[in-house]
Amino acid sequence: MAEKERQLLPTVAQPVLDGKNLELLREWVVRLGTRHTELHEDWVRRITANKLLTSMTKEEIHDETTTIYERWVSILEEGSYQALHTYIQSLSAWIIPREVAPHEMIGLMLILRDVFGKTLLEGYLSDFDLLSRMLDAYEPVANGIINTVVASFIQEREHVTQRLQRAVHELSTPVLQIRDRLLLAPIIGGLDAERARQLTNQLLHAIRDYRAKVVVIDVTGVPSLDSRAANYLVQTVAAARLLGASVIVTGMAPVTAQTLVNLGVDVNSMHTVGDLQGGIEEASRLLTKDHPGG
Amino acid sequence: MDIPILKQGNCLIASVQPALTDTGLLQLQENLLMLTSKYRSHGVIIDVTVLDVIDSFTSRTLRDTVYMLKLRGAEAVIVGIQPDMAFALVQLGITLEGVKTALDLEEGLALLER
């Protein structure tokens, strides 16, 4: 939880509020005083009308948005970024478990900004000069809040995605010793450049640690290879050779074979066998030849 | 700094020390050629386990050494290239083409015996 909080405030240009503007905003918030219930309901009505948060009932939306509303008001009153910081924390505690979509998040905040903006127009229309100054004070704050919240939201989603990706990566490139001096690396799923790099790293260290003479890389479960991943594969074979191990690639799909040839890969540099079983048999043959009697 | 060269039966074993200089490497080349003559060795192991980096000069010189030894009737094997270094070499396009390599001393000797 602490990690999440720490990363949640990206640097977005913070509006500077001078004393006079701050006072104007405070006055305005005070004048709004008794209208909060009405404004909150207006906001909820518009949320529903815009088909946001459709998975929630109107009552749920009302309850859930209360905190956001109150925080918005307190930021206008205080004009401080400490308030914004706690705001974002409470916001993420709200949105993350509910899986609110980005467009809903942004839509929510923009409508709230409009609801308040409208009260400015209503309240100060008679004095255009004052209205102008109020807007000058209000707009940077409102936009600053929305900017920061949205940026944090996106950043948090990226963190989650990256964490998931890392977890999947770690689970998905095992290197197994199936016999003395023989390693098997079965690959399931798409092999992008990042995963290929990780596989190479694991494989080369495993060759040294297990003192493997032969490695079978099985790509039966790989639907396709992009050119960078294919390059990594070729480089892995070359690097393994430097460690005294030979590599057999098995289970290559037709489209993968095409990619490799189109890349100009020297097919003689790669020892391939059609399927995994054949690959293991070939590997055993190589090992017996090198070390007769085991 | 002289790189120590040990004799084991028909083979010579040279273990490269850390902080290898270009001069040191060329000296090794000379010493190996001289000693293979003197002892009429058939095999040479050059152990680079302690090297963190192999630049293009080092790899070229090692390769040249292997070829020179071949001309003198001795087969040479480079052993002890570390996983990270192996990958770095390949990425730089330094393939050590035509040079026999093995994982470690034990493997290198086994390779020479065959």
Q: Say which DSSP state B16 is in.
A: P
- Are the C-beta atoms of residues B68 and B39 closer than 8 Å to each other? no
Domains and CATH numbers, chain A: 2-170 (1.10.490.10), 176-290 (3.30.750.24)
d(CA A53, CA A34): 27
d(CA B1, CA B83): 26
Residue pLDDT, tens place only, A231-245? 888 889 999 999 999
Tell me which chain A residues have a C-beta less than 8 angstroms from the C-beta of B112: none
Predicted pLDDT at A138: 87
Tell me which chain A residues have a C-beta less than 8 angstroms from the C-beta of B96: 242
Which one of B89, B95, B103 has the shortest CB-CB distance to A211?
B103
Residues sharing a CB contact under 8 Å with residue B94, sequence separation 6 or more, in sequence order: B54, B56, B59
For A67, A91, A104, A156, the CA distances from A94, given in Å and listed in that order, are 9, 5, 13, 13
ipTM associated with this complex: 0.86
Q: How many CB pairs under 8 A join A and B?
A: 51
Element (H, E) at B66: helix B56-71
Which one of B90, B107, B114 has the shortest CB-CB distance to A238?
B90
A179: amino acid identity, one letter: R
pTM equals: 0.61
Dihedral, CA of residue A90, residue A94, residue A99 and residue A104, to nearest 10: -80
Q: Report yes or no: B18 at the A interface, CB cutoff 8 Å.
A: no
Residue pLDDT, tens place only, B80-93? 999 999 998 988 88
Contact B87 A200 (CB under 8 A): yes
Q: What is the number of other CB atoms lying within 10 angstroms of the CB of residue A55?
A: 10
Which residue matches tokens 């034990």? Answer: B106
Tell me which chain B residues have a C-beta less than 8 angstroms from the C-beta of A200: 87
Which one of B101, B104, B110 has the shortest CB-CB distance to A242?
B101
A121 or A99: whose pLDDT is higher? Answer: A121
Q: Report yes or no: B45 at the A interface, CB cutoff 8 Å.
A: no
Residue pLDDT, tens place only, A236-287? 999 999 999 999 999 988 888 888 888 887 777 788 888 899 999 999 999 9
Contact B114 A200 (CB under 8 A): no
> What are A111-118's contacts with CB under 8 Å, separation 24+?
A111/A43, A111/A46, A111/A47, A111/A50, A112/A43, A112/A68, A112/A69, A112/A72, A113/A142, A113/A143, A113/A146, A114/A46, A115/A39, A115/A42, A115/A43, A115/A46, A116/A39, A116/A72, A116/A76, A116/A142, A117/A142
Domains and CATH numbers, chain B: 5-103 (3.30.750.24)
